[in-house]
């Protein structure tokens, strides 16, 4: 009799596991650590995330799978292939940078943010996000999605005695739970039609569904997408973004803007390209329209931000992240039309890596400026060059990367790959919509950039750089510059298969 106990490949699951375990350790340690020693928890979490990121290295040599069906070795729930590793790198690396920002934020905000809970929730969410790209069955996928989201609601509302924060958390929670519920309903439809939860099996069996169940399956496909579309902040599931970003502690906004999106689009990719390739005619057009709407709404929203409004810098980044989510969706939609879906997916992955690095960089500068100007208005950035030239140059560079204009070469090439995915798939109209959006986006990014170099009003405020923020800025800056010199580092994912 074959053993009912599965053998577990611990190395393969190390990255999310380490993150989760460190999270638990932090929670317990919090009880025993004296008030003055609390910052140690932060550094422990940073170290944990760094260790989890490093554990990706031994996985590079070959694809590994674990939690496979007993009897059918090819069908597994957890797979560490190239796609998984790249997204896990994005998630864990992004979480590491957001953690560096958090260390300073917690120090500045002492008393109002409970450190032990903060780090526990943060690491739990990161563990869920790291698990998600590796999941290869719908149940694990939903569990991972929930593990990534639920702590995030708490993080958004964590600030004691802040009404805005609680309100944002509630908005985020209600809309997200609705989306998840809809998604679960969709998954149950798909399960009803195919009798399996494993993505590869779904892909096989969905082609031979009983004619009577055809409508059910189609409904299931669409409903399943909703939950993930919500996570990527695609229109019409975007309205929680600006308020949530403003209400949340800034590092959490940074975290959501990158890791939240990574969770959303990697889930979308798994559901669409891996599980339901035969339903490309359903999700392809839906995603294309979604992408066009998302980028347009996001960019127009960002354009409408007034520089003098309170928190306008964060609001602008929030809206622009909605716009960027639209670009991320374009290649996924293109995957439905092109002959080589993996190549299109590679464009999304490459774009996400670029976006992750430069967006976190921009948030790092926003965190720095936010220390001196609590309202964090775009107008507060005027004359930043006079106060701290290097920071201003970095922010200018990050913004131009997001806009996709030289000297932000990597931003430009990331956009070029997305464009070429669309053109290659024959989605000319989407490419044109995106072209218009790129110009709209340029207006607000450049307006902000130009402001950095204007003469300051009054005495320039010197920004003292704390060590963790310096580290985050240096990391993102070096990444951005290195990628601009050698775009192949991320663009190679567009050339080779990921799965």
Partner 1 sequence: MIDINESVMQVLLALIVVGPLLGAVAALLPAPPGLKGKSPDQAVLRHGVTVTGAVLIAAIVLALGFDHDQPSRMQATTDISWIPALDVRIHLGTDGISLPLLVLTALLTFLCALHSYFKPPTGPSPKAFVALLLVLESGTLATFAVLDLILFFLAFETVLIPMYFLIARWGGEGRAEAAWKFILYTLLGSVVMLLGLLLIGIEAGTFDMVALATDNGRSLTTSVQVIAVLAIGIGLAVKTPMWPLHSWLPDAHTAAPTVGSVLLAGVLLKMGTYGFVRILLPAAPDGFRTFAPYLAAFAVVGIIYGSLACLALTRRGANGDLKRLIAYSSVGHMGFVLLGIATMTPTGVNGALFANIAHGLITGLLFFLVGGLKDRTGSTDLDTLAKETGAALYGRAPRLGGLLAFAAVASLGLPGLAGFWGEMLALFGAFDPAEGLSRPAFLTFMAIGAFGTLLTAAYLLIVVRRVCMGASPQDSPKFADVRSYEFAAWTPLVVLTVVAGLWPRALLGLTDPAVQQLLAGGNR
CA atoms within 13 A on the CB side of 313: 28
What is the closest distance, in whole angstroms, from the C-beta atom of residue 339 to partner 1 in the complex?
Answer: 13
Task: Report if residue 482 touches partner 1, rule: CB under 8 A.
Answer: no
What is the rounded distance in angstroms from the CA atom of residue 286 to the CA atom of residue 364? 35
Backbone angles phi, psi at 62, to 5 degrees: -150, 160
What is the closest distance, in whole angstroms, from the C-beta atom of residue 52 to partner 1 in the complex?
Answer: 28
Q: Show contacts with partner 1 in window 447-466 (CB under 8 A).
A: 450, 453, 455
Mapped onto helix, strand or coil, the DSSP state of residue 162 is coil
Which span (154-162, 329-337, 422-430, 460-468) binds partner 1, by CB under 8 A? 422-430
Task: Report if residue 423 touches partner 1, rule: CB under 8 A.
Answer: yes
Q: Which of 292, 384, 442, 473 binds partner 1 (CB under 8 A)?
A: 442
C-beta of 219 vs 420, nearer to partner 1: 420
C-beta of 54 vs 390, nearer to partner 1: 390
Which span (150-158, 204-212, 290-298, 403-411) binds partner 1, by CB under 8 A? 403-411
Note whether 402 and 358 are within 8 A (CB). yes
Q: Which of 362, 417, 444, 448 binds partner 1 (CB under 8 A)?
A: 417
Q: Which of 187, 400, 469, 471 binds partner 1 (CB under 8 A)?
A: 400
- Supply 448's token pair: 């902000």
What is the closest distance, in whole angstroms, from the C-beta atom of residue 477 to partner 1 in the complex?
Answer: 15
Q: Which of 289, 416, 461, 481 binds partner 1 (CB under 8 A)?
A: 416
What is the closest distance, in whole angstroms, from the C-beta atom of residue 387 to partner 1 in the complex?
Answer: 15
What is the rounded distance in angstroms from the CA atom of residue 61 to the CA atom of residue 17? 20
78 sits in which H/E element: strand 72-80
C-beta of 265 vs 493, nearer to partner 1: 493
What is the closest distance, in whole angstroms, from the C-beta atom of residue 406 to partner 1 in the complex?
Answer: 4
Note whether 144 and 189 are within 8 A (CB). no
Which span (60-68, 111-119, 276-284, 442-450) binds partner 1, by CB under 8 A? 442-450
Note whether 224 and 187 are within 8 A (CB). yes
Count interface residues toward partner 1 (CB under 8 A): 35
Backbone angles phi, psi at 74, to 5 degrees: -80, -15
Backbone angles phi, psi at 421, to 5 degrees: -60, -45
What is the rounded distance in angstroms from the CA atom of residue 86 to the CA atom of residue 497? 12
Q: Which of 26, 412, 452, 473 binds partner 1 (CB under 8 A)?
A: 412
C-beta of 255 vs 381, nearer to partner 1: 381
Note whether 318 and 257 are within 8 A (CB). yes
Q: Which of 230, 368, 494, 498 binds partner 1 (CB under 8 A)?
A: 494
C-beta of 192 vs 439, nearer to partner 1: 439
What is the rounded distance in angstroms from the CA atom of residue 204 to the CA atom of residue 187? 16
Residue 218: CB atoms within 10 A of its CB come to 17
Enter the DSSP assignment of 137.
B
Q: Compute, in degrees rounded to 10, the torsion defined by CA atoms 276, 282, 285, 286.
A: -90
Residue among 418, 416, 400 at smallest CA distance from 408: 400
- Supply 25's token pair: 């350790």
Q: Which of 432, 467, 478, 482 binds partner 1 (CB under 8 A)?
A: 432
Task: Report if residue 405 touches partner 1, rule: CB under 8 A.
Answer: yes
Q: Show contacts with partner 1 in window 350-389 (CB under 8 A).
A: 350
Q: Which of 177, 185, 289, 446 binds partner 1 (CB under 8 A)?
A: 446
Residue among 213, 189, 350 at smallest CA distance from 275: 189
Q: Which of 12, 145, 431, 473 binds partner 1 (CB under 8 A)?
A: 431
Q: Which of 106, 424, 448, 480 binds partner 1 (CB under 8 A)?
A: 424
Task: Report if residue 392 touches partner 1, rule: CB under 8 A.
Answer: no
The rounded radius of gyration (Å) of the Cα atoms in the chain is 22
Which span (197-205, 221-229, 361-369, 432-440) binds partner 1, by CB under 8 A? 432-440
Task: Report if residue 488 touches partner 1, rule: CB under 8 A.
Answer: yes
What is the rounded distance in angstroms from the CA atom of residue 253 to the CA atom of residue 119? 15
Note whether 430 and 288 are within 8 A (CB). yes
C-beta of 114 vs 497, nearer to partner 1: 497
Task: Report if residue 413 touches partner 1, rule: CB under 8 A.
Answer: yes
What angle do helix axes 280-303 and 312-335 make, rounded to 10 degrees? 160
What is the rounded distance in angstroms from the CA atom of residue 165 to the CA atom of residue 44? 26
Task: Report if residue 438 touches partner 1, rule: CB under 8 A.
Answer: yes
- Supply 64's token pair: 């590994």
Q: Which of 435, 467, 478, 482 binds partner 1 (CB under 8 A)?
A: 435
- Supply 494's token pair: 């567009």
What is the rounded distance in angstroms from the CA atom of residue 65 to the CA atom of residue 129? 18
Q: Show contacts with partner 1 in window 297-356 (CB under 8 A).
A: 346, 350
Note whether 190 and 270 are within 8 A (CB). no
C-beta of 206 vs 353, nearer to partner 1: 353
What is the closest distance, in whole angstroms, from the C-beta atom of residue 386 to partner 1 in the complex?
Answer: 10
List interacting residues with partner 1 (CB under 8 A).
346, 350, 400, 405-407, 409, 412-413, 416-417, 419-420, 423-424, 428, 431-432, 435-436, 438-439, 442-443, 446, 450, 453, 455, 487-488, 491-495
């Amino acid at each position: 009799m074959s053993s009912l106990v599965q053998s577990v490949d611990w190395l393969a699951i190390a990255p999310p596991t380490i993150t989760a375990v460190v999270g638990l350790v932090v929670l317990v340690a919090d009880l025993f650590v004296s008030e003055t020693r609390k910052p140690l928890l932060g550094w422990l979490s940073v170290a944990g995330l760094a260790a989890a990121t490093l554990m990706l290295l031994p996985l590079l040599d070959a694809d590994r799978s674990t939690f496979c069906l007993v009897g059918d070795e090819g069908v597994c729930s957890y797979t560490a292939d190239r796609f998984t590793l790249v997204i896990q790198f994005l998630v864990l690396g992004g979480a590491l940078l957001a953690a560096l920002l958090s260390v300073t934020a917690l120090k500045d905000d002492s008393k109002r943010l409970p450190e032990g809970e903060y780090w526990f929730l943060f690491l739990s969410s990161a563990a869920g996000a790291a698990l998600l790209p590796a999941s290869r069955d719908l149940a694990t996928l939903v569990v991972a999605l929930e593990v990534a989201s639920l702590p995030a609601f708490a993080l958004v509302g964590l600030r004691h005695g802040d009404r805005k924060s609680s309100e944002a958390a509630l908005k985020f929670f209600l809309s997200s739970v609705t989306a998840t519920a809809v998604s679960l309903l969709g998954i149950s439809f798909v399960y009803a039609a195919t009798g399996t939860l494993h993505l590869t099996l779904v892909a096989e069996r969905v082609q031979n569904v009983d004619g009577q169940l055809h409508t059910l399956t189609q409904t299931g496909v669409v409903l399943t997408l909703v939950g993930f579309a919500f996570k990527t902040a695609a229109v019409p599931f975007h309205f929680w973004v600006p308020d949530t970003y403003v209400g949340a502690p800034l590092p959490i906004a940074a975290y959501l803007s990158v890791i939240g999106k990574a969770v959303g689009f990697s889930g979308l990719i798994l559901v669409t390209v891996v599980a339901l390739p035969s339903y490309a005619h359903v999700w392809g057009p839906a995603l294309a329209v979604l992408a066009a709407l998302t980028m347009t709404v996001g960019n127009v929203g960002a354009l409408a931000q007034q520089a003098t409004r309170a928190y306008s810098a964060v609001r602008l980044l929030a809206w622009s992240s909605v716009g960027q989510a639209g670009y991320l969706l374009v290649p996924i939609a293109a995957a439905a039309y092109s002959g080589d879906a993996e190549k299109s997916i590679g464009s999304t992955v490459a774009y996400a890596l670029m976006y992750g690095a430069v967006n976190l960089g921009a948030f790092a500068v926003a965190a720095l400026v936010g220390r001196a100007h609590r309202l964090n208005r775009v107008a507060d950035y005027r004359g930043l060059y006079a106060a701290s030239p290097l920071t201003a140059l970095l922010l200018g560079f990050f913004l131009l990367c997001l806009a996709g204009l030289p000297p932000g070469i990597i931003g430009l090439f990331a956009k070029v790959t997305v464009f070429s995915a669309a053109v290659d798939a024959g989605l000319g109209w989407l490419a044109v919509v995106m072209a218009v959006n790129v110009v709209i986006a340029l207006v607000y990014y450049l307006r902000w950039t130009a402001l950095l170099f204007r003469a300051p009003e009054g005495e320039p405020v010197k920004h003292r750089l704390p060590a963790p923020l310096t580290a985050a800025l240096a990391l993102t800056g070096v990444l951005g510059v290195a990628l601009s010199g050698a775009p192949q580092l991320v663009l190679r994912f567009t050339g080779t298969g990921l799965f």
